[in-house]
Structure 1
Amino acid sequence: MVTAIVVAVLGAALVMGGFAALSKARDRVAVVDVAWGLAFVTIALLEAIVFPDTHSWVLAALVTVWGGRLAWHIARRSRGHGEDPRYEKMLGGPGWSSGAGKVITRVFLTQAVVALLISAPLQVAAAYDVRWWPAVWVGAVVWAIGLFFEVVGDAQLEAYKATPRESRPKILDTGLWGWTRHPNYFGDATVWWGLWIAGALALGWLPGLLTVWAPALMTYFIRNVTGAALLEKTMSQRPGWDEYAARVPLFFPRPPRR
C-alpha cells in the first residue's frame, strides 16, 4: 500500500509540477484546469504499470477516457482566453504577479493534494486483489452513466452558446439541462462513485468503507464549493432564473416539471 501511495504522489507531482512551469511560462494560472484530469490519468496509469493486473488496467482505461476527455474539452474551451477571474480573486491579483509562492501553494500544490485524496480508491485497488468482480462491472456502468451526463451536458451547452443570442432562450432548459441545472458536474461526481465501486468496493466491504469519503468529498466540492455553487452565483442574475430553478433541481436529476 505504501508503494501505491508513493506512485500516486509521484504522478500528481509530475503533472502539477510540469503544468506549474507551463503556467509560469504563459503567465496563466488557469492551465491548472487542464492538469486536473491529467493528474488522475497519470496516477492511474502509473499504478497499472507498477501493479500490472487486469483490475488496475481496467481502472486505468476508465480514468484515461474520463480524464483525457475532460482535459481536451477544457483546453479547447479556454483556447484564446485570458486568465480565469476565479484565480485572480483567489490570488488577490493577476497570475504570477501575485507571487510565485502563493500560486504554487494555493493552486498547484492544493490541487495535487486533492487529487491524491480523491484517487485513494485507485491506490487501494492497485495494492490489493479483487474480491468481487461483479462490482467492477457495476462500477463501470455507474461510471458510464456519469460520463454520459458529462459529455452530453457539455455538448448541449456548447450548442446553446453557438446559437445566436437573439434566437436562443435566455436560459438553457432543454435536454439534460431540464433534468438538472448542472448535468456536467453531476456526471463528474457520478464518474467517481463508479470508480470507487469498481476500484475499492470490489476489494470488499472494508476497503470500500475506508475509502468512501473520496467520492463523497468529490461530490461535496463539485456541488457545494467549486463547481455548481460558484456557477449558481453568476447564473442566478439572469432573467428567468428563479422560474427555472423552481422547476429544475440543482444537482441530482429528475424528470422535467412544467
Structure 2
Amino acid sequence: MNPGTVAGVVGLGSVVAWATVTVTFLVARRRGRYDTIDTAWGVGFALIAVCSLMLVRAGFAGAVPSGGPGWLATILTVVWGGRLALHLHLRNRGKPEDPRYREMAAKARRFPAGRMYFRVYLTQALVMWFVALPVQFAQFGGAGQHPASGVAVWVGICVWLLGFVFETVGDEQLRRFRSRPENVGEVLRTGLWRYTRHPNYFGDACVWWGLYAIACHQPAGAATLLSPVLMTWLLANGTGKPLLERDIARRRPDYAAYVRRTSGFLPLPPKRE
C-alpha cells in the first residue's frame, strides 16, 4: 500500500471532520444551542466514509479499491451514522439544551463561543477522524491480503449487527419509556436496560469493533486497533457513561439502587440486592 495514497485519503478524512464540525458550530451559534453537535456526530462519520470511498474508487495516487469490504464498511457506517443522527435530532427537538453543554459554556466566562469551538467541537472532530480510520483502511485493497480475510469480514458483520441491534433497540425502549407521563422521574429497568445501564453505548462500541474487524481483511487495517479502543474507552470511561451518570442520581432517587444491581457497560445478569 502506497504511503502517499494512505496519507492523502486519511488527510481527506481530517478535512471532512473539521468542515463538518465547523459548519455545525456556525449552525449551533445561530440556533443558540451547542448540543447541535450531537446530530452532526453520526453525519460526520458517514461523510468521511463516503468521501474517502470516492477518492479510493477514483484511484487517487494509485489507490487500489478493496471492492466488497470497502463498500460494506462504507454502507454500514452510513446506516449507523444516519440512524444515530436522526435519533438524536428527534430526541433533542423541542426540548431544552442538554445541561452538559450549558454547564461547559457557563464555565467559559471569557470568549465562551471560542472555548466551546476549540474544546468541544474541534476535539470531537479529532476523535471523529481517528475513530473513522478503520472504515477508510477497509476501502483499500491490493496485495498482502490473507486467505482468511473473508472470515474477518464475516466476524465484523456479526459484531456490527449485534451492536446496531443493541443500540437501536435500547434507544427505542428508552424513548417509549420516557414518552409515558407516569414514568417521569422513574428508572427504566426492563428490556436491554435490565442487563446494562447503557445498552446504546455498548452497542456503539460493538459497531466500531465490527468495522475494525472488516478493516482487518488486509494487514494495514489491523494497525487501526487504537480507533475502536479509543471509542470504547470514551463510551465506558470518558465522555459517555461517567458524564451522563454524574448527576442522574440527584434527579432520580432510585438510580443508586439500579446502579448497584445493573452492569455499567457489558450486558450481564442483574445482581441480587
* Alpha-carbon distance in structure 1 between the residues aligned to 2:137 and 2:71: 14
Does the 8 A contact of 2:69 with 2:217 survive in 1? no
Q: Which of 62, 67, 80 is matched with 2:94 structurally? A: 80
Give the corresponding residue for 2:38: 33
Greater helix share, structure number: 1
Give the corresponding residue for 1:217: 230
In percent, how many aligned pairs have the same letter? 38
* Alpha-carbon distance in structure 2 between the residues aligned to 1:191 and 1:198: 11
Describe how 1:35-114 pairs up with structure 2 within 5 A: 35-52=40-57, 53-92=67-106, 98-114=111-127
Give the corresponding residue for 1:202: 217
3-state DSSP of counterpart to 1:141: helix
Q: Given residue 251 of structure 1, which amino acid in structure 2 is its aligned partner?
A: F
* Alpha-carbon distance in structure 2 between the residues aligned to 1:245 and 1:99: 34
3-state DSSP of counterpart to 1:255: coil
Q: Given residue 119 of structure 1, which amino acid in structure 2 is its aligned partner?
A: A
What TM-score do you get using the length of structure 1 for normalisation?
0.90
Give the corresponding residue for 2:131: 118
Quick one: structure 1 residues 236 and 226, their matched pair in 2 at CA, closer, same or farther if it must change by over 3 Å? same
Q: Deviations over 1:114-171 (max 9, x none)?
A: 1111112122223444540221121011001001110100111011111222x68932
5+ long unaligned stretches in structure 2: 1-5, 58-66
Deviates more, 1:133-142 or 1:232-241: 232-241
Cα deviation for residue 90 of structure 1 reads: 1.9
Describe how 1:217-236 pairs up with structure 2 within 5 A: 217-236=230-249
Describe how 1:127-206 pairs up with structure 2 within 5 A: 127-129=140-142, 131=146, 132-165=149-182, 170-199=186-215, 201-204=216-219
* Alpha-carbon distance in structure 2 between the residues aligned to 1:257 and 1:102: 43
Does the 8 A contact of 1:4 with 1:127 survive in 2? no
Does the 8 A contact of 1:4 with 1:126 survive in 2? no
Quick one: structure 1 residues 134 and 37, their matched pair in 2 at CA, closer, same or farther if it must change by over 3 Å? same
Aligned CA RMSD, in angstroms, stands at 2.1
Count of residues in correspondence between the two structures: 253
Cα deviation for residue 220 of structure 1 reads: 0.6
What TM-score do you get using the length of structure 2 for normalisation?
0.85
Does the 8 A contact of 2:187 with 2:254 survive in 1? yes
Does the 8 A contact of 2:157 with 2:214 survive in 1? yes
Quick one: structure 1 residues 43 and 67, their matched pair in 2 at CA, closer, same or farther if it must change by over 3 Å? same
